[in-house]
Copies of this chain bind each other. A is one copy, B any other.
Amino acid sequence: MDTLTALGKFREHVETYVKLNDVEWQALAPLLEVNILKKKKNFAEPGKVCNQIGLVVKGAVRYFLVKNGEEITGYFSFENELLSSYKSFLTRQPGENYIQALEDCQIVTLSYKAMQQIYGDVLIGAKMERFGRLIAEHYLICYEDRVSSFVTQTPEERYNKLMETGGDILQRIPQHYIANFLGITPVSLSRIRRRIMKISA
């Protein structure tokens, strides 16, 4: 995908939250970068401050951390979704997890420095401040739902829900990552799948 199209995707994404006129977009666009992240390469690493927020324009990434020598996957981002070690990005403290490309990715990034600069911009600051609020609110709701699913649902119910609403996650992502995402082991997910197969058969 060429740079201009990629930037356009970023504009589209911003505009799902706040409308921009062309002048405002001209103020924002120069601060963006379009990057390639090859499969297995890291966008963020534990111990390092995450200095970018990004929009996945093409590809998919996986969030994970290493515990007892094992990788535990907590999240994914796909096309037209933001990615960032957001806590690290916001707090300016070293992050705890990797963000790694599952496929070759194209990512439009905005640096923390540019983000702060733009919050203070007379022309577009207020709108970006609102954008910042709305994306935080958006992801807050996502996390709220996810916490609720852990408290109120069994692993099997969570998996069923993911089949209904997860889009192409189940096709694109290796199953043992999905298991982590659901808070269970890969072996356990395999058993759940078998239980479901038997019931529906």
Question: Which residues of A come within 8 Å of B, CB atoms?
Answer: 65, 67, 72-74, 86-87, 90-91, 96, 119, 125-126, 129-130, 132-133, 136-137, 139-141, 143-148, 150-152, 180-181, 183
Kindly name the residue among A126, A143, A151 whose own CB sees the greatest number of chain B CB atoms within 10 A.
A151
How many copies of this chain? 2
A65 to B144, CA, bound (A): 13
Contact A86 to B144, CB < 8 A, known contacts A151-B72, A183-B151 = yes
Distance of A153 from chain B, by nearest CB (Å): 9
Find out whether the CB atom of B140 lies under 8 angstroms from the CB atom of A67.
Answer: no
> How far, in Å, is A96 (CB) from chain B's closest CB?
8
A129 touches B140 (CB 8 A): no
The answer to whether B152 touches A67 (Cβ under 8 A) is: yes
Q: Which listed residue (B91, B132, B147, B152) contacts A143, Cβ 8 A?
A: B147
Our pick among B130, B139, B146, B151 for the contact of A181 (Cβ within 8 Å) is B151
